[in-house]
Chain A
Amino acid sequence: DAKTTQPNSMESNEEEPVHLPCNHSTISGTDYIHWYRQLPSQGPEYVIHGLTSNVNNRMASLAIAEDRKSSTLILHRATLRDAAVYYCILRDSRDDKIIFGKGTRLHILP
Chain B
Amino acid sequence: ETGVTQSPTHLIKTRGQQVTLRCSSQSGHNTVSWYQQALGQGPQFIFQYYREEENGRGNFPPRFSGLQFPNYSSELNVNALELDDSALYLCASSQQGAGYNEQFFGPGTRLTVL
Number of A-B contacts (CB under 8 A): 56
Residues of A within 8 A of B45 (CB): 97-100
Contact between A43 and B107 (Cβ–Cβ < 8 Å)? Answer: yes
Q: Is A45 an interface residue (CB 8 A)?
A: yes
Interface string of B30-52 (1 = CB under 8 A from A): 01010100000111110010100
8 Å CB contact of B96 from A46, A96, A103: A96
Q: Are A103 and B105 in contact (CB under 8 A)?
A: no
Please judge, given known A-B contacts A96-B31, A96-B48, whether A43 and B42 are in contact too, CB under 8 Å: no
The answer to whether B41 and A102 have CB atoms under 8 Å apart is yes
**Least Cβ–Cβ distance between A73 and chain B, in angstroms:** 16
Beyond known contacts A42-B108, A46-B102: 13 more, CB 8 A cutoff: A43-B92, A43-B107, A45-B105, A46-B103, A46-B104, A49-B100, A49-B102, A85-B42, A96-B31, A96-B103, A98-B35, A99-B45, A101-B42
Q: How many residues of B contact A (CB 8 A)?
A: 27
B94 close to A (CB within 8 Å): yes
CB distance from A102 to the nearest CB of B (A): 5
Chain A at the B interface: SS class: loop
Kindly state the separation between the CA atoms of A39 and B64 in the bound complex, as whole angstroms.
27
| B66 located at the interface, meaning its Cβ lies under 8 Å from any Cβ of chain A in the complex | no
Q: Are B48 and A42 in contact (CB under 8 A)?
A: no
Docked Cα-Cα span, A29 to B92, in Å, equals 26
CB-nearest residue of chain A to B50: A96
B81 contacts partner chain A, Cβ-Cβ < 8 Å? no
In this assembly, does A44 line the interface, its C-beta being within 8 Å of a C-beta of chain B?
yes
